[in-house]
Structure 1
Amino acid sequence: MLALSGISVHFGDRQVLHEADVTVAEGELLAVLGANGSGKSTLLRAAAGLVPHTGAVTVSGRERGRLDVALIFQQIHLVRRRSVLDNVCAGALGRLPLRESLVPALFPRAVREEAMACLDRVGLADRAHDRAGSLSGGQQQRVAVARALCQRSRVLLADEPVSALDPAAAEQVLALLAELAHAERLAVLAVLHQPELAARHADRIVGLRDGHVVLDGDPGQPVGSLYSYPVLETTS
């Protein structure tokens, strides 16, 4: 579903990614692990088209388009004073006419119904008309997931989506992403700091060290090489 081929990123004279090759299949949750500064968030941003890079990013075999991927960030970026439903409707902005996209009250009924279905999918339909700021951190992140679903993208990119959450909420959000990948046949790439969460919820892990892919395989394998030496390890 998502293929990154030979992705290199430079920030000035510093190269932070070195010809990285990463794929995410339909129906798969891929966890990207690595120490701070390893290049994992840069990899995600390259996949989203947010940083200049060399190499190719394709979705379903064609060059990535503007609406092909949906983003979920550590900083959740909800409009806290607006309703939960309005925040999820915002996922549809990219496909709405300009006039309807400027005023939340003008969101079409079909978009609101779709947003309600997305909220139901993440278990928060009963909070649709509450202010987003009244929800817990874990609930807000689930709203962000619903907003991404409302974008109708087949690829979800999650950049440290649980690092600001308590352990119980982190488990819930990772389990939700895994369940969506499997049930909705989405390709989900999640940058994580927690190897134990990856081992419990991911279908596959990719490890980065100093901008190099050094590990690709089963989530149950040891990840010490991410923090010691750049030797590529794979599992069949």
Structure 2
Amino acid sequence: MPALRISNLSKSFGENRVLDGVDLNVEPGEFVAVLGANGCGKSTALRCVVGLEQPDSGEVDVDGRPAMVFQRIHLVHRRTALDNVCAGALGRLPLSRSITPRLFPRELREEAMWCLERVGLADHAGERAVRLSGGQQQRVAIARALCQRTNVLLADEPVSALDPSAAVNISELLGRLAEEGLAVVAVLHQPQLATRCAHRVVGLSGGRVAVDRSAAAVSQAEVDALYVPGGVAV
């Protein structure tokens, strides 16, 4: 069964129909990169999956609760990397244990350390987030999402604010997490990263799926057509 199933998803803002019958299945262990021009509905689709937007019609079925990583990382800069990752589990804690990091239980800190190990940042656990590089901060954000015990990881433009080297590292990390069994969906604005790191490329144009094929099989002409008026129909 797919870890994420989107069926006939539609969403309008006023007279602007942003999503127009989008269908998408993502399996456990699969990294799907979503491409498309600005305004094609990429981010709106992810926001509908996590409930930040209410679709007009269609269905979204998720295996468990999805976790989302945003372009703006939103870490608490004065707190350590470990404290920020622990924050991903606050919804599981009683109020009395979630008021301050000093009250976080030992088991949560151990789980958070494991999440930092998965993203290669265990040796920075005690550093304040403000002292970390942009790429390291995004890794902390991903570890925080993992601490939610999710089966589906959504990333909305997670590398747009990073330098090219950090962008490659984060994209490759998402691919490794998929290989560990997660279903990963990332909105990207760098087609070369999508074809290099993802298993599958989905292209949106005019609110519809215009391309859906393996990253190795998608052509440059198909990618280019996603960014011109009229798009591509496949």
- TM-score class, shorter-chain normalisation, is over 0.9
* Counterpart Cα distance in 2 of 1:139 and 1:227: 30
CA RMSD of aligned residues (A): 1.1
What percent of counterpart residues are identical? 60
1:100 aligns with one of 88, 94, 97: 97
- 1:192 aligns with 188
* Counterpart Cα distance in 2 of 1:206 and 1:128: 35
- 1:57 aligns with 60
* Counterpart Cα distance in 2 of 1:47 and 1:231: 25
SS of the residue 1:47 aligns to: helix
Offset at residue 78 of structure 1 (A): 0.3
In the alignment, does 2:212 pair up with 1:216? yes
TM superposition score normalised by structure 2: 0.94
Q: Is 1:29–1:188's contact at 8 Å kept on the other side of the alignment?
A: yes
- After superposing on structure 2, the runs of 4+ consecutive aligned residues of structure 1 that deviate more than 6 Å are none
Correspondence 1:31-70 to 2 at 5 A: 31-53=33-55, 54-60=57-63, 68-70=65-67
- 1:11 aligns with 13
Deviations 1:7-49 (A, max 9, x none): 1111122211001001111000000000111111111111111
Q: Is 1:8–1:18's contact at 8 Å kept on the other side of the alignment?
A: yes
Of 142-151 and 96-105, deviating more is: 96-105
Offset at residue 230 of structure 1 (A): 4.0
The amino acid that maps onto 1:43 is A
* Counterpart Cα distance in 2 of 1:227 and 1:80: 36
TM superposition score normalised by structure 1: 0.93
- 2:117 aligns with 120
Q: Is 1:119–1:146's contact at 8 Å kept on the other side of the alignment?
A: yes
In the alignment, does 2:130 pair up with 1:130? no
SS of the residue 1:8 aligns to: strand
Q: Is 1:212–1:230's contact at 8 Å kept on the other side of the alignment?
A: no
* Counterpart Cα distance in 1 of 2:214 and 2:177: 20
The amino acid that maps onto 2:58 is G
The amino acid that maps onto 1:58 is D
- 1:26 aligns with 28
- 2:226 aligns with 226
Q: Is 1:4–1:56's contact at 8 Å kept on the other side of the alignment?
A: yes
Of 27-36 and 43-52, deviating more is: 43-52
- 1:88 aligns with 85
Offset at residue 218 of structure 1 (A): 1.7
SS of the residue 2:189 aligns to: coil
The amino acid that maps onto 2:182 is L
* Counterpart Cα distance in 2 of 1:129 and 1:231: 48
